[in-house]
Amino acid sequence: MKRLILIRHGKSSWNNNLPDHKRPLKKRAYKDAENVIKAFKHFYKPGGLFWSSPAVRANETANMFKEGLGVKEEDFNVVNELYTFNQNELLEMIRSCPEERDKLIVFGHNPALTILVNSLGDKHLDNLPTTGLCVIDFDVDTWKELEKGKTILTLLPKNLR
């Protein structure tokens, strides 16, 4: 079995006239992440591999989860190819996960994440919102085999406020 956890970066600011990949998080993102982490802690079991987009907003979000869940440094990676909005590129990266790992947590961007949640999972979401989290289980032995899985958890910040 393989478990994929997709997390969209926190709400970002457009105020600073920065390039897209350098946009920081808004204040609300920190509270949203705190709420999602608190709820997710009851479900999460250590041992996952954490991959984050290098974009500031995704990396800051990923680091909050890393700290909140007590993730080891060696299980946390910034992966440049995750700075994509294309679901096919994102899926290609996910399928490259080392086979000895059964759990992958990916911090990335829309629309790629929402499209993957809907194409890989069995529950439809209109939109995976900022700091939204979705867990999908797959009854497969390798990441390369990922196709249709079972959505077993969705955490949306607005439902946790």
Q: What b/e string do you get for 1-30 counting C-beta neighbours within 10 Å, with b at 16 or more?
A: ebbbbbbbbbbbeeeeeeeeeebebbeebb
pLDDT in tens, the chain (161 residues): 999 999 999 999 887 788 899 999 999 999 999 999 999 999 999 999 999 999 999 999 999 999 999 999 999 999 999 999 999 999 999 999 999 999 999 999 999 999 999 999 999 999 999 999 999 999 999 999 999 999 999 999 999 98
What pTM was computed for the model? 0.96
Report domain extents, the chain.
2-159
Cis link prior to 111 (omega < 30° from 0)? yes
Q: In what order do the strands lie in the sheet with 133-138?
A: 76-78, 49-52, 103-108, 2-8, 133-138, 150-155
Among all chains, which residue has been given the structure tokens 């490259």? Answer: 96
SS3 state at 8: strand
For domain 2-159, give the CATH number: 3.40.50.1240
Task: Give Rg (Cα) of the chain.
Answer: 14
